[in-house]
Structure 1
């Protein structure tokens, strides 16, 4: 079965509007044509009657000139009368058919030719009327009508038809719009809401109430369906956000995990390369985590990890990032970095924050410390892997030389810690 594209089908509004317009135009066209034909017929009868009157007047006027064969007087009389009437061509003939006088309308051009064509089509043949003297035909008058009046009437009729057609079209469109508000309006609203829900996944729009019961019930049912879809979408979106957060964050500390950190580091290095900036990576490792975990249990170890994560996060700037890489290892991304001393200063603040005891389950507490390695882009690496490896190596150098210290990659001696605890 062949499926039709909805874009190829006419809308209900266009169908109703086109129907109103066609009916109105047909009615106006039929009325206009009928009135025009009646007017043309009436004007034709009037023009023929008028030509006969003009011919009779000419025959009376030129009678004496024909009797005395005075062509000059006949021409003057013929021109005097024909020039003021709707006459295109006039002739006066004697009883033998010889031309005595002739008159031709002097106008030339396209309009005159058009008027003559209209006269030939609408008017009858040229009027022929005898010139009678003492009950004897002494000549004949031939008149051809001029189409000026007919032309003006036809143009006026055409203008009237155009005006009536325009008014009728406006009335038809007005009626169509009224129906559009009553019937098509609610359907259009329903279609618009449905299209937004299907194409744009917008489910918060609703169909407005309609004044027609069937359309109002349809809109209410559709709104109820949208309520269910919106509830389902909200639940699904919450689940997706939860899954996405779980996939990119550590479940214990709530910090981003290694994958999230490495992705952020890639973007930071790309931006730093473009803007000629510096970036620092801090690699942090807890010095006593294994002993705390063994002596106090896993719950105590988890409490230490959460406390360490919170204290590290509290020392960073808003645009910096801290992540848990796994176990008791953390990483910090400092971007942008103006100078290496800024990274060392932040590392010292983190080390100093470990000075306070960490409360453990069971009313006990411990004091732990961190070893921190610092690597700076582009001094110690230009790729995420190289930068992390340099920071990791610097962290092990700090741990080997002095626990609770920070060490910058490439330095000859570790920086003294704020407070070292064994």
Structure 2
């Protein structure tokens, strides 16, 4: 798998490669042009020097004066900085030769192999060729020129690298930095789900357009998220409402029969597992049918609501009040530490129901009354159905005992 490279590094490498290639090409062209120009100039100079030697050496050649010829060559070679010079007679015999003394080394060998250049001039007397002058230029001049050119190219490369470094920093500030900010912003939005964040404008038009598109995308995502949240909240509200409606009686707000039976069964199961007790109160409104017949169902419904409210006020928050239907209510006492506590709760419930009368619109007052049957798990039943049946029977026994004792009771 290829390791990713930063954009800043790619820009620096690309700029450096382009600059180095251009610099090397320009340096090579300039070096070749300089060498060619120097070679042409040197050749012309050697030809002039050769003709000068030929003119000066005419007398020495005519008289075959080797010493005078050598002295002449020595002076001119040293003065002109030549490598060597010699005078060759017409028959191929060398009259005089002089080579400038230089320390041996690789520079001398390299210059003689690569940059050897010479010129020839003819010594004529009265139109007759007597000898030939051969001169050799100093190739180290070319080698020195090449060295200076290479040094100039190296210096140019160094200065170019420094310039590219400065330019790259400017590019990083104008291009790489906004892209890094975009990447960091995208990562933060993804990790924190902060769709409300926005990118600032960028100096580069393309990056600014990219930032604008990204901000527009964030705005759409934010709008969709808000819409999803609204739908989710609506669904949650509807679900809570449906759950409440499924678990509670629509009229009184007490628990529904199905939900109460489910809670009672769970409480019995837990009590059986830990060896505890559960209390159950079965409650019926006294003479509720007479209220409906004499005052109407609206007053009867109001009375049921008052009973449910007073039942909830007479028990603990941990206890559960439910309505089985009609005027039948139930109370789940969980937990129940002692069996006698259930009877005490039943008495509290009766007192809570009798606390006050119900005022009717006609000015008549009703005094609510209830009959309560008590069942305790596991004493009075091994499961929820058995407890309900036992508490129902106890409630009717209580109602029979109360019947006739107080005719004004509802």
TM-score by length of 2: 0.53
**Which residue number in structure 1 is paired with residue 400 of structure 2?**
400
**Which residue number in structure 2 is paired with residue 389 of structure 1?**
389
**1:60-75 superposed matches below 5 A:** none
**1:11-26 superposed matches below 5 A:** 18-20=4-6
**CA distance in 2: counterparts of 1:345 and 1:181, whole angstroms:** 73
Q: Alpha-carbon deviations, 1:292-346, whole Å to 9, x = none?
A: 0110001100111011111111110111110111110000000111212211111
Where structure 2 has 5 or more consecutive residues not aligned to the other structure, the ranges are: 18-168, 201-210
Q: Alpha-carbon deviations, 1:5-63, whole Å to 9, x = none?
A: xxxxx9xxxx9x71339977x96xx99xxxxxxxxxxxxxxxxxxxxxxxxxxxxxxxx
**Which residue number in structure 1 is paired with residue 276 of structure 2?**
277
Contact (CA 8 Å) 2:381, 2:390: kept in 1 or not? yes
**Which residue number in structure 1 is paired with residue 262 of structure 2?**
263
**CA distance in 1: counterparts of 2:269 and 2:214, whole angstroms:** 57
**Which residue number in structure 2 is paired with residue 297 of structure 1?**
296
Contact (CA 8 Å) 1:278, 1:338: kept in 2 or not? yes
Partner-residue secondary structure (3-state), 1:262: helix
**CA distance in 1: counterparts of 2:220 and 2:243, whole angstroms:** 34
Partner-residue secondary structure (3-state), 2:322: strand
Check if 1:185 corresponds to 2:174.
Answer: no
Partner-residue secondary structure (3-state), 1:279: strand
Where structure 1 has 5 or more consecutive residues not aligned to the other structure, the ranges are: 1-9, 32-170, 195-204, 406-416
Q: Alpha-carbon deviations, 1:53-83, whole Å to 9, x = none?
A: xxxxxxxxxxxxxxxxxxxxxxxxxxxxxxx
**Which residue number in structure 2 is paired with residue 362 of structure 1?**
362
**Which residue number in structure 1 is paired with residue 376 of structure 2?**
376
- CA positional deviation for 1:231: 1.8
Contact (CA 8 Å) 2:285, 2:368: kept in 1 or not? yes
Q: Compute the RMSD of aligned alpha carbons.
A: 3.6
- CA positional deviation for 1:213: 2.4
**Which residue number in structure 2 is paired with residue 287 of structure 1?**
286
Contact (CA 8 Å) 1:357, 1:367: kept in 2 or not? yes
**Which residue number in structure 2 is paired with residue 306 of structure 1?**
305
Contact (CA 8 Å) 2:283, 2:373: kept in 1 or not? yes
1:251–1:361 Cα change, 3 Å: farther
Contact (CA 8 Å) 1:282, 1:373: kept in 2 or not? yes
**1:19-98 superposed matches below 5 A:** 19-20=5-6
**CA distance in 2: counterparts of 1:404 and 1:317, whole angstroms:** 32
Q: Alpha-carbon deviations, 1:338-366, whole Å to 9, x = none?
A: 21221111111221233321123433221
**Which residue number in structure 1 is paired with residue 230 of structure 2?**
231
Q: How many residue pairs are counted as aligned between the two chains?
A: 244
Contact (CA 8 Å) 1:351, 1:404: kept in 2 or not? no
Partner-residue secondary structure (3-state), 1:18: coil
**1:238-253 superposed matches below 5 A:** 238-253=237-252
Partner-residue secondary structure (3-state), 1:333: strand
**Which residue number in structure 2 is paired with residue 208 of structure 1?**
197
Bigger CA radius of gyration: 2
**CA distance in 2: counterparts of 1:188 and 1:260, whole angstroms:** 48
- CA positional deviation for 1:392: 1.0
- CA positional deviation for 1:190: 4.3
**Which residue number in structure 2 is paired with residue 218 of structure 1?**
217
Partner-residue secondary structure (3-state), 1:285: strand
TM-score by length of 1: 0.51
Contact (CA 8 Å) 2:285, 2:327: kept in 1 or not? yes
